[in-house]
Structures are given as structure tokens and as C-alpha cells.
């Protein structure tokens, strides 16, 4: 065995495989599972399509939309705050 430490892989999206440095936001979940912002948005779109087809996603979709809306507002606040600080 070598005395050198093994390099650790960058965290990546469990769905598309893109590493943290290639996405805007990587949302960590339990047991080393993560989803990137684009895959999260895509999943909301898929759920909305299912609801439009008469699925049973309404309550869950509204909850996800509220959380996503909140997350988007937080990101906008961070961007505006960082621009104001410059």
C-alpha cells in the first residue's frame, strides 16, 4: 500500500453524474445521494406532466413547487447581495 492519500472524487449528481463544479447547485441527500439544480427542475416538470395527465401528484407537486420557489428566491437574494457588496 502507498502512504499517499487517495484523492477523493468531487461530489456529483446521482441522476446525471455531473460533478459539483459543473452545476449551479448540488443538493445533498441521505447516504451520499445528491441531485443537481437542473435534474431537480426536470423532476418537477415530469411531475407536472404527470399531474396534467390526471396523476395523483397535486399535493406533492405544490409542496415541491413551494420549496423550489423558496430556493430560487434564496439564490436571487445571494446574487443581489453579492452584487451590492461589490
Whats the size of the chain, residue-wise? 86
In 3D space, the residue among 51, 52, 20, 50 whose CA is nearest the CA of residue 36 turns out to be 20
Contact assessment for residue 25 and residue 36, using Cβ atoms and an 8 Å cutoff: yes
- 3-class state of residue 12 by DSSP: strand
Higher-confidence position of 38 and 68: 38
- Residue 1 confidence (pLDDT): 45
Contact assessment for residue 65 and residue 50, using Cβ atoms and an 8 Å cutoff: no
Query: How much is the average pLDDT of 42-61?
Result: 72
The H-or-E segment that residue 36 falls in is strand 34-36
Q: How confident is the model at residue 66 (pLDDT cuts 50, 70, 90)?
A: confident
Amino acid at each position: 500500500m502507498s502512504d499517499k492519500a487517495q484523492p477523493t472524487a468531487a461530489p456529483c449528481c446521482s441522476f446525471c453524474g455531473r460533478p459539483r463544479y459543473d452545476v449551479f447547485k448540488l443538493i445533498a441527500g441521505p447516504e451520499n445521494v445528491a441531485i443537481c439544480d437542473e435534474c431537480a427542475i426536470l423532476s418537477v416538470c415530469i411531475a407536472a406532466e404527470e399531474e396534467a395527465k390526471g396523476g395523483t401528484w397535486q399535493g406533492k407537486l405544490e409542496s415541491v413547487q413551494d420549496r423550489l420557489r423558496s430556493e430560487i428566491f434564496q439564490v436571487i437574494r445571494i446574487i443581489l447581495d453579492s452584487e451590492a457588496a461589490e
